[in-house]
Amino acid sequence: MNPYELQLTPFIVPTTDGKIIKEHFGKASIFCGDFSFAHMIAPPGWSEPFQRPEFDEVTFVFAGKKKIEVDTETIILEAGQSICVRKGSNVRYSNPFHDSCEYVSVCIPAFTIDRVKREA
């Protein structure tokens, strides 16, 4: 068994909302442990429904800003800042700003559509 996994070309997750998701490690790409690691770009005006995920999600913003609504709080995450949203929290991610937001996210355990628990 190889002592490492090298990912040269991430899996581009198909989306319909303009968001770019490049998964380097996770259930959609190279399965290497029960975590996922993705590089994302959320366009201006992007948002997704509230969710109550069954994973912790760590986000680090490289450029732009990301709005995160967690339970009763609203956080604006800016370039150079990070956050860990704990599993079971009621959370919504969005980019209501004029510029794209570039960030990476790590989910533990790995992101799957079954674990995200989005509202209808």
What CATH number is associated with residue 101? Answer: 2.60.120.10
Which range of residues forms the domain containing residue 25? 11-116
Query: Quick check: is 6 in a domain?
Result: no
The predicted model gives 10-38 an average pLDDT of 93
Amino acid in the structure at residue 110: A
| Average pLDDT of the residues in 2-31 | 92
CB 70 within 8 A of CB 89: yes
Residue 4 falls inside a structural domain: no
Domain membership of residue 92 (yes or no) is yes
Domain contains 80: yes
Note whether residue 44 is domain-resident: yes
Per-residue pLDDT at 50: 97
Does 1 map to a domain? no
What is the predicted pLDDT for the residue at 58?
98
| Structural domain includes residue 32 | yes
Domains contained in the chain, number = 1
Q: What is the mean pLDDT of residues 3-23?
A: 93
What are the start-end ranges of the H helices in the chain?
Answer: 113-116
For 42-86, how does the pLDDT look when each residue is reduced to its tens digit (9 = 90+)?
999 999 999 999 999 999 999 999 999 999 999 999 999 999 999
Would residue 94 count as lying in a domain? yes
Residue 115: φ, ψ to 5°: -85, -15
Kindly tell me if the per-residue pLDDT of 1 is higher than 80: no
Q: Within 13 Å and on the Cβ side, how many CA atoms surround 83?
A: 19
| Token pair of 76 as six digits | 């604006």
pTM above threshold 0.95 = no
Mean pLDDT for the chain? Answer: 95
